[in-house]
């Protein structure tokens, strides 16, 4: 009886290990094989064949936008923290909860506006041919379509 229980446990352990290994491999293979679309930043630098002057202009625009984006994301995180604290304290849709929601929406709206300004500012540095490719990419990103 003891020998049979040991054999049963050993076989169960080996089968569980095999099942776990197959599951891990399958998951890794599935997610690794999914094609990730390049970011707008990657497309600009990889596909548009920028001149050195354009690259310098784009780098300056990107640095400025990055700082703006970081500031707005910090504002959104702070508003979310205030929202969480207000919900925990008030436990209802209070004036403080509503104010935190409005603060978050304001920061999010400003981030979207700054992003659109960034897109148009980058576009101004491009040639007409580059603009055509850029416009198609921006439109595809906004409508979640493939190029």
What is the C-alpha separation between 138 and 145, in angstroms, rounded?
10
What local confidence, expressed as pLDDT, does residue 98 receive? 93
44-143: in CATH 1.10.510.10: no
Q: Three-state SS string across 79-143, please? A: HHHHHHHHHHHHCCCCHHHHHHHHHHHHHHHHHHHHHHHHHHHHHHCCCHHHHHHHHHHHHHHHH
Residues 114 and 69: beta-carbon distance below 8 Å: yes
Q: What are the residue boundaries of the structural domains of the chain, listed by start?
A: 1-34, 44-143
- pLDDT the model gives residue 12: 72
Kindly give the confidence (pLDDT) of every residue in the chain, 147 residues in length, as a single tens digit, with 9 standing for 90 and above. 567 777 766 677 666 666 666 666 666 666 555 555 567 888 888 989 999 999 999 999 999 999 999 999 999 999 999 999 999 999 999 999 999 999 999 999 999 999 999 999 999 999 999 999 999 999 988 888 765
Its pTM stands at: 0.68
**The predicted structure's pLDDT at residue 114:** 96
Q: DSSP state, 144?
A: T
What is the tens place of the pLDDT at every residue in 60-99?
999 999 999 999 999 999 999 999 999 999 999 999 999 9
Determine the pLDDT at residue 28.
Answer: 65
pLDDT confidence of residue 40: 82
């Amino acid at each position: 009886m003891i020998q049979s229980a040991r054999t049963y446990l050993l076989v169960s352990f080996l089968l569980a290990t095999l099942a776990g290994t197959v599951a891990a491999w399958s998951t890794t293979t599935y997610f690794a094989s999914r094609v990730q679309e390049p970011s707008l930043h990657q497309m600009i630098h990889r596909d548009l064949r920028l001149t050195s002057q354009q690259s310098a202009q784009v780098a300056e625009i990107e640095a400025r936008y990055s700082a703006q984006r970081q500031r707005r994301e910090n504002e959104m995180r702070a508003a979310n923290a205030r929202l969480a604290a207000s919900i925990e304290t008030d436990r209802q849709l209070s004036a403080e909860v509503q104010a935190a929601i409005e603060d978050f929406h304001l920061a999010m709206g400003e981030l979207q506006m700054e992003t659109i300004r960034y897109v148009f500012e980058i576009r101004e540095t491009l040639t007409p041919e580059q603009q055509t490719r850029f416009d198609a990419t921006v439109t595809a990103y906004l409508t979640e379509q493939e190029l």
